[in-house]
């Protein structure tokens, strides 16, 4: 789950929506598809921004397969002037046949977003390994903390053929000014043996943010994934609801996906937009068990209210409620820019206790560098709990 930082979207309000032209485009040589190791059709490409302004671009990909047509769209992280932004779409509906890619559609906003000031370290720490995966470091060269960072890159063969788009295996939660963090990239197994080099490393953030509001004299943390800008959040203990002002700069409806701690509700959420009740999609995250409440917000300014919180719930002021098993292991073992305690790790893993031997952190490195499944590490910790070593 990717959360907790946004390059401000409010700078987009009042600007126009454009169809991409010569300045913002996808080169034909950097747009292709293949069947990945899971047997699903993957489409990869890269948007080039040759304009002199930062842009927020939307890409629509369409694939014809026999008599069926499939189309998906996505809003990419902001693209700075003279930079690229790689992307990948997965079409799980297409597992066979002879897919034919249609010309992609790109549209964009010009924004005034400040540079991210996250730089890839092009030195001996940037290493490609025989199995095709890569490790490296990024540094925060700016004056403010940056959170929820991903690194995107293009993968090439020895003949300079563009093979794929990849990104780091876990989102980097936070980097303070002057600090650095490590990233790891694995190419799809289908093309791993062909990988000769990586290029166009682009640090970026998605459009999700951490939010908070006061509830019972405590800070209630939650998050939202959307390019819709939500402000002035306020919890009303009389109606057990949170109200927001919402601004959607796109001239079309766009979704908002709110994530709340699992204990904060029994799932009976109600959503009102401008006083009208709508039907949200409500689900629980398989890894974190946090609630997801998703719905569309139309173009323009709106009043939003989300109700259905448990009046007996007491916020525990835990801003890391969103952690899943893998990200918790990464953070606990010191491979992230923030750390969590033994008890927090065990809580995420569903294990009662407060102590994990420090040497277990060595096994987490195998998960990161040797692509060992997180489940294997979790099962090891559960075994250590049964043996009385984890307490």
| pLDDT tens readout for residues 8-55 | 333 333 333 444 455 889 988 889 999 988 888 999 998 998 878 787
For the beta sheet containing 281-284, the strands, ordered from the edge strand earlier in sequence to the opposite edge, are 208-215, 218-225, 254-260, 291-297, 281-284
Residue 379 included in any domain: yes
Q: CATH number of the domain at 43, please.
A: 2.60.40.1620
Per-residue confidence band for 289, with pLDDT thresholds at 50, 70 and 90 = confident
Residue 157 included in any domain: no
Residue 92 included in any domain: yes
Residue 118 included in any domain: no
What is the predicted pLDDT for the residue at 149? 85
**Coil, strand or helix at 386:** helix
Domain that holds residue 64: 12-111
Q: What is the pLDDT of residues 23-33, one digit of tens each?
A: 889 988 889 99
Q: Verify that 344 and 295 share a domain, yes or no.
A: no
Q: What is the pLDDT of residues 184-196, one digit of tens each?
A: 998 888 888 999 9
Query: Quick check: 216 pLDDT over 80?
Result: yes
The rounded distance, in Å, linking the Cα atoms of 317 and 218 is 6
What is the predicted pLDDT for the residue at 16? 34
Please enumerate in sequence order all residues whose Cβ is within 8 A of that of 124, keeping only pairs 6 or more positions apart, or say none.
none
Per-residue confidence band for 257, with pLDDT thresholds at 50, 70 and 90 = confident
Please enumerate in sequence order all residues whose Cβ is within 8 A of that of 276, keeping only pairs 6 or more positions apart, or say none.
none
Which one of 88, 111, 134 terminates a domain?
A: 111
C-beta of residue 195 within 8 angstroms of C-beta of residue 163: yes
Say which range, 66-70, 113-117, 278-282, has the weakest mean pLDDT. 113-117
Q: What is the pLDDT of residues 291-333, one digit of tens each?
A: 989 898 988 899 999 999 999 998 876 666 666 787 788 778 8
Q: Verify that 222 and 268 share a domain, yes or no.
A: yes
Which one of 81, 111, 141 terminates a domain?
A: 111
Say which range, 2-16, 105-119, 323-337, 373-387, has the weakest mean pLDDT. 2-16
Q: Verify that 329 and 278 share a domain, yes or no.
A: no
* Count of domains observed in the chain: 3
Q: What is the pLDDT of residues 132-167, one digit of tens each?
A: 999 999 999 988 888 778 898 889 898 888 888 888
The rounded distance, in Å, linking the Cα atoms of 391 and 15 is 56
What is the predicted pLDDT for the residue at 12? 32
Q: Are strands 265-273 and 118-120 parallel, antiparallel or unpaired?
A: unpaired
Q: What is the mean pLDDT of the segment spanning 340-352?
A: 87
Q: Average pLDDT, whole number, for the chain?
A: 82
Residue 144 included in any domain: no
Q: Verify that 293 and 331 share a domain, yes or no.
A: no
Phi, psi values for residue 353, rounded to 5°: 160, 180
Please enumerate in sequence order all residues whose Cβ is within 8 A of that of 381, keeping only pairs 6 or more positions apart, or say none.
346, 349, 351, 356, 360, 390
Per-residue confidence band for 4, with pLDDT thresholds at 50, 70 and 90 = very low
> Bigger pLDDT: 368 or 269?
269
Q: What is the mean pLDDT of the segment spanning 199-207?
A: 76
Residue 148 included in any domain: no
What is the predicted pLDDT for the residue at 250? 63
Which one of 249, 280, 309 terminates a domain?
A: 309
Residue 172 included in any domain: no
Query: Quick check: 199 pLDDT over 60?
Result: yes
Residue 264 included in any domain: yes
Per-residue confidence band for 110, with pLDDT thresholds at 50, 70 and 90 = low
Q: CATH number of the domain at 238, please.
A: 2.60.40.1180
Element counts in the chain: helices (H) and strands (E): 4, 27
């Amino acid at each position: 789950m990717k959360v907790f930082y946004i390059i401000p979207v409010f700078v987009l309000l009042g600007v126009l929506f454009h169809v991409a032209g010569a300045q913002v485009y996808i080169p034909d040589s950097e747009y292709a598809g293949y069947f990945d190791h899971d047997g699903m059709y993957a489409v990869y490409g890269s948007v080039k921004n040759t304009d002199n302004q930062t842009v927020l671009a939307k890409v629509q990909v369409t694939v014809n397969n026999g008599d069926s047509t499939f189309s998906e769209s996505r809003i990419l992280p902001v693209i700075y002037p003279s930079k690229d932004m790689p992307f990948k779409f997965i079409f799980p509906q297409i597992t066979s046949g002879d897919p034919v890619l249609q010309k992609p559609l790109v549209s964009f906003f010009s924004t005034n977003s400040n540079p991210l000031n996250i730089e890839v370290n092009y030195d001996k720490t940037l290493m490609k390994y025989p199995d095709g995966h890569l490790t490296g470091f990024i540094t925060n060269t700016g004056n403010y903390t940056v959170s929820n960072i991903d690194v995107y890159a293009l993968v090439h063969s020895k003949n300079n053929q563009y093979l794929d788009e990849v990104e780091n295996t876990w989102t980097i939660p936070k980097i303070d000014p002057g600090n650095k963090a490590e990233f790891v990239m694995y190419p799809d197994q289908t093309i791993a043996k062909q990988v000769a080099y990586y290029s166009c490393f682009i640090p970026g953030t998605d459009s999700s943010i951490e939010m908070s509001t006061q509830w019972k004299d405590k800070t209630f943390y939650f998050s939202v994934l959307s390019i819709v800008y939500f402000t002035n959040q306020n919890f009303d203990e009389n109606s057990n609801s949170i109200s927001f002002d919402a601004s959607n700069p796109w001239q079309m409806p766009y979704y908002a996906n709110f994530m709340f701690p699992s204990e904060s509700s029994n799932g009976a959420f109600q959503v009102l937009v401008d006083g009208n009740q709508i039907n949200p999609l409500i689900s629980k995250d398989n890894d974190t068990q946090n609630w997801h409440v998703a719905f569309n917000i139309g173009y323009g300014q709106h009043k939003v209210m989300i109700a259905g919180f448990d009046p007996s719930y007491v916020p525990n002021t835990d801003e890391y409620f969103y952690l899943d098993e893998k990200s918790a292991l990464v953070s606990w073992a010191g491979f992230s820019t923030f750390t969590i305690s033994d008890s927090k790790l065990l809580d995420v893993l569903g294990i009662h206790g407060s102590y994990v031997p420090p040497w277990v952190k060595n096994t987490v490195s195998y998960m990161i560098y040797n692509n060992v499944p997180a489940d294997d590490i979790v099962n090891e910790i559960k075994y250590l709990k049964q043996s009385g070593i984890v307490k």
